[in-house]
Chain A
Amino acid sequence: EAGVAQSPRYKIIEKRQSVAFWCNPISGHATLYWYQQILGQGPKLLIQFQNNGVVDDSQLPKDRFSAERLKGVDSTLKIQPAKLEDSAVYLCASSLAGKFMYEQYFGPGTRLTVT
């Protein structure tokens, strides 16, 4: 079974530029998550989708971050414009459903450096 795929793996941009990350979850997984992991910290949930609807985006900085999951499969996370403090690893995860104890499977992440 293929795992969660993410691209690109690494991205370096200057502040005020835009960037987009892509995630392809495990086939059949209805729930998709984006986490931000700042160096030295644990991952923090940015947004959770159930199919193509948003379940939780309470910690998403909506003035600069946006995410979509058209057709309930792939998802993109965008930052526009980027700030220095956005430097982090962005992790995508998926699970069969959005209730607790459906295991979340994580992708390898995209490491973003903002200079």
Chain B
Amino acid sequence: GEDVEQSLFLSVREGDSSVINCTYTDSSSTYLYWYKQEPGAGLQLLTYIFSNMDMKQDQRLTVLLNKKDKHLSLRIADTQTGDSAIYFCAESIKGGGNKLTFGTGTQLKVEL
């Protein structure tokens, strides 16, 4: 079945790196995504990784995928106050159309 879990809260200092973790259970995941949600706003796609990849880098964002352990992480380098938000990982599975299953979300707080 589909189940995606994340830790609830992360606090970092401005300029440090943030690492947000996610575990999933469905081995037939095709794409895994990271979304950002700011207060009162919809979800914004940050980045995604295809399930046959181990790593993807996009400017300050690095996604690592350990398919054996079904573990996904998002590293944000040089974290800024504007990065404060809730981050959701999500998966789509083979044969599931474009249906996304989201994790519970990790609230990132960036302190000065």
Binding site for B on A (CB under 8 A): 4, 31, 33, 40-45, 48, 55-56, 91, 93, 95, 97-104, 106-109
Contacts and interface: CB of A to CB of B under 8 A. Distances in A.
B7 to A, nearest CB: 13
B43 A106 contact: yes
B42 A56 contact: no
Given A40-B104, A42-B90, A43-B88, 12 more contacts: A4-B42, A41-B104, A45-B101, A91-B42, A93-B43, A95-B98, A98-B98, A99-B98, A101-B31, A102-B98, A108-B40, A109-B42
B99 A42 contact: no
B31 A100 contact: yes
A98 B50 CA distance: 17
A13 B81 CA distance: 36
Contact of A56 (B4, B31, B92, B99): B99
B91 to A, nearest CB: 10
A100 B30 contact: yes
A80 to B, nearest CB: 25
A108 B41 contact: yes
Determine which residue in B96, B99, B101, B103 has the highest number of CB atoms from chain A within 10 A of its CB, and name it. Answer: B99
B42 A106 contact: yes
A91 B88 CA distance: 15
B102 A104 contact: no
Nearest to B44: A106
A4 B50 CA distance: 26
A48 B104 contact: no
A30 B31 CA distance: 21
